[in-house]
Amino acid sequence: MARSSHPFSNPFGNTEEEQPRRGKPPRFFAPDRTEPTRKFEKLPEQIESSLNIEVASSPEEIVDYETKRVRWYLNKWKRYKELGYDSVIRLPASINPESMEVTDDEIRAAIQNEFHTNKNDYESYAETFKEAWSTMREKVIPIMEQIYGFQPAGDFHIVPTAYGTGGGSLEKDGPVFFRLPKFRPPTNGEPITEVEAITHEILCHEVTAHLREETAIDDSPVVATHQEYKERLMDLLGRTLLVRAGIMKREGVRMVGGGDAGAPDIDPLYYTDPEHPDENNLRYEGRLPDLIKDIETKLSQS
């Protein structure tokens, strides 16, 4: 997911694993790889599918993930404060980020203390994502196979969150966090829909990440040398998926990744006729691995 001009203004921001640097959108620290036990609720119609999206919804699992998420930000607090980003990180009210003595039990207790006021928001947001995936799943998976040239597969996880920054994944192959709507930063225009969020973050970023490893458009900003080009490709893929699946009209799809940066190089490879872009006239229809290979070649020569 793209970075906007403000490092945390995008509620559906992509991976948060890089360390911040002055003068650029922050690069976030790699988190501890230890994860709480997953107890995600699997949607009934997903059981036989090779592409599964599960949504955390029980209080126990949400508190587990929120505890780990808050701990991660506390561990990096000094660095964030040095860079001036401390004001955009949301933490439980009773947690003092300046204290080096905060225990996991204290974090958990603080989250549980606030949970009752956010319980309905967690539940309704989780349900919104379940409904969004349920309504789009049967339409979009066949289109993914047509465009990508392979059957999409994998188990992906969504966790609603009240804390941290705008959202995204903390680590490779980890769950994707989405900020509860009432805690999102203000945005210009209409907010991104859950359908667009699922498409961009999971169906585009996560499903194709293995094809882009160790390339200029790797999903990890630590490795990627052309972040804006990666986001342009993810935006184009997402728009094509939503339009050809009949879920949204072309003019209604937001370019979640952040605009036209990278378009002069990516669009001529993506569309057969970039002057008249048509979602049904792709240069690499059914050959996404070849497209990524040629993008890598082009960027290595620039």
How do 51-55 and 167-169 pair as beta strands? unpaired
Q: Please report which confidence band the pLDDT of residue 221 belongs to, taking 50, 70 and 90 as the band edges.
A: low
The predicted pLDDT at position 172 comes to: 77
Residue 31 maps to a domain: no
pLDDT at 34 over 60: no
Angle at which helix 104-148 crosses helix 227-244, to 10 degrees, equals 60
Rounded to 5°, angle at Cα 84 from 18 and 225: 30
135-153 pLDDT, tens digit each: 999 999 999 999 999 999 9
Q: Which of the two residues, 54 and 11, has the higher pLDDT score?
A: 54
Residue 52 maps to a domain: yes
The predicted pLDDT at position 200 comes to: 93
**Torsion angle defined by CA atoms of residues 118, 121, 126 and 128, in that order, rounded to the nearest 10 degrees:** 180
240-272 b/e (C-beta count within 10 Å ≥ 16 → b): bbbbbbebbeeeebbbbbbeebbbebbbebbbe
Counted domains in the chain? 1
207-219 pLDDT, tens digit each: 999 999 999 998 8
The predicted pLDDT at position 274 comes to: 95
Q: Bridge-partner residues for 282, per DSSP?
A: 271
Q: Please report which confidence band the pLDDT of residue 187 belongs to, taking 50, 70 and 90 as the band edges.
A: low
Give the three-state DSSP class for 167.
Answer: strand
Tokens 């979009």: give the residue. 140
The predicted pLDDT at position 157 comes to: 94
pLDDT at 225 over 70: yes
The predicted pLDDT at position 7 comes to: 36
Q: Which of the two residues, 240 and 223, has the higher pLDDT score?
A: 240
The predicted pLDDT at position 4 comes to: 31
Of 82-86, 98-102, 263-267, minimum mean pLDDT range: 82-86
Q: Bridge-partner residues for 156, per DSSP?
A: 53
Residue 96 maps to a domain: yes
Highest mean pLDDT among 23-32, 41-50, 216-225, 285-294: 285-294
pLDDT at 97 over 90: yes
Residue 14 maps to a domain: no
Residue 36 maps to a domain: no
**Which residues form the domain of 143?**
44-301
Residue 5 maps to a domain: no
pLDDT at 204 over 80: yes
Residue 161 maps to a domain: yes
Q: Distance of CA 84 to CAs 20, 80, 92, 98, Å?
A: 10, 6, 19, 14
Contact between 172 and 153 under an 8 Å Cβ cutoff? The reply is no
Mean pLDDT, the chain, integer: 83
The predicted pLDDT at position 131 comes to: 96
Contact between 135 and 128 under an 8 Å Cβ cutoff? The reply is no
Residue 20 maps to a domain: no
The predicted pLDDT at position 29 comes to: 30
